[in-house]
Amino acid sequence: MFRLLRLVRVARALKLRRGFTALQDVIHSQRASLYLKFFVSLGQLLMLVHWIACGWFGVTWLHTENWVASSDLRYRDSLFQYLTCVLWSFCQLGVGESPWQPTNTTEMILASVIAFTALITAAVLISTMGELIAGLRKLRQDELSQFRLLRRYLQKHDIPVDLGHRVTQFLHNQYTERQQASSSQTQVPLLELLSRPMMQELQFERHRPVLCKIGAIKAILSKDDVHCRRVLHKMAYASLDPMVAAAGDVIFVGGHMATMSYIKMNGRLSYFK
């Protein structure tokens, strides 16, 4: 029976870990990922406190003379008893000194085991939470520092207010997108280990939905020709160069010599005569 319960706990822990990993894969923002890790660590700490509290109260069932009887808590309501155990659990983490002391050998052994376990586990969790808070603070400070320098630059060079507002808004959006661009090659150093043919195929599949809007490319793909696909892979790797544009930017003007063609990846593009 105990072995079955252990297997159930292990399976549940594996499911939670897989779920947490899947959730991290969905989140592309570094700040949101840090917040997620922080709240997960906080939840683990609270769960540890809960289990310690349950164990500390459960040991009273083994002896008539126990810490509950000596503390006159036997006839108090269940909520008060639970909160008392939770307070005792926090005291074992080094928050303060507990007024409820062990009254028999079993309680003394359990208290010693809990103190040793809490010393290690709580230290690791609290250290992890401290590192995550420091990481969040650093992200915020970096952002404030960058835009503080931008405001000084705009003021020093007497940039018009309207243009300065457009520049600030555009850079703010770009900064946010850069923090969320986990699928960009510059954000995934591991992609540098890929072979060139595989990297070319990866870049083609990355832009495939947009490239298939071109009739010629869609027709080539429908033939399922290996050589044609190879050429498309090379083209996607060598010829595609992403371009970022802000609202109101002029991309090209009629009458100028065309040196490249443009494909709208996202956003809105308007033509004027």
Question: What is the DSSP code (8-state) at residue 100?
Answer: -
Task: Tell me the average pLDDT across 126-135.
Answer: 81
Task: State the greatest distance between any 2 C-alpha atoms of the chain, in Å, as a whole number.
Answer: 97
Domain ranges of the chain: 2-140, 186-265
Query: Which pLDDT score, from 0 to 100, does residue 66 have?
Result: 83
Q: Kindly report whether the global pTM for this prediction surpasses the value 0.75.
A: no
Question: What is the DSSP code (8-state) at residue 249?
Answer: -
Task: Tell me the average pLDDT across 142-165.
Answer: 87
d(CA 3, CA 28): 39
What's the CA angle centered on 83, arms 78 and 105, to 5 degrees?
Answer: 85
208 SS3 class: helix
CB contact set of 269 (below 8 Å; sequence gap of 6+): 251, 262
Query: Which pLDDT score, from 0 to 100, does residue 195 have?
Result: 87
Query: Which pLDDT score, from 0 to 100, does residue 21 have?
Result: 56
Q: Are 179 and 30 in contact (CB under 8 A)?
A: yes
Task: Tell me the average pLDDT across 151-169.
Answer: 86
Query: Which pLDDT score, from 0 to 100, does residue 101 have?
Result: 83
Length of the chain: 273
Sign, CA torsion 12/14/15/21:
positive
Task: Tell me the average pLDDT across 94-123.
Answer: 81
The encoded tokens of residue 160 equal 């018009």
* pLDDT tens, position by position, 39-78: 887 888 888 889 888 888 888 888 888 888 888 787 888 8
Query: Which pLDDT score, from 0 to 100, does residue 110 have?
Result: 85
